[in-house]
Amino acid sequence: MDNPMISIGRLIKQADISLTRQMNNLARQNNLTGNQMNIIDYLSRQENMATDQQAIEHEFNIRRSTTTIILQRMEKRGLVQRITDPHDRRRRQVQLTAIARELVPVVKDYIRKQEGLLTSQFSPAELIITARVLKYIKEAN
């Protein structure tokens, strides 16, 4: 067996690809991308189903330019509205539209089921350790 310290990065990458592929398959059924589903889920958990663009960048650890492109595509499809923040004209508030709000139950159900599948095979102690390792890796980069 490979040394787990050597293969952990590869295993994480493979797991990421697998999860992304699964999410994209469901997303396609709803004429979305996996990133769009994640943003719909994130916004649905915010007060008034809205937040500023910087919060989205931080949540998904993506660059401003990438976030702008994703949000422009979502706006073009009528999934989000980007509104200038009345308190700071340099900032944009991003809010789900009625079209996206209709998709929230589908997105939440998928994520809930996936989370159940991912966690059902592990004890609470194992999940705590896994979360700690993944948070460390995320923050170390």
Q: What is the pLDDT of residues 2-19, one digit of tens each?
A: 565 568 888 889 999 999
Contact 92, 84 (CB under 8 A): yes
Assign residue 134 the CATH number of its domain: 1.10.10.10
Q: Is the pLDDT of residue 132 over 80?
A: yes
Q: What's the token pair of residue 61?
A: 């650890």
The pTM of the full predicted model, rounded to 2 decimals, is: 0.83
User: Would you say residue 15 lies in a domain?
Assistant: yes
User: Would you say residue 6 lies in a domain?
Assistant: no
User: Would you say residue 4 lies in a domain?
Assistant: no
For the chain, how many structural domains are there in total? Answer: 1
Structural domain range at position 84: 11-140
Amino acid found at 14: Q
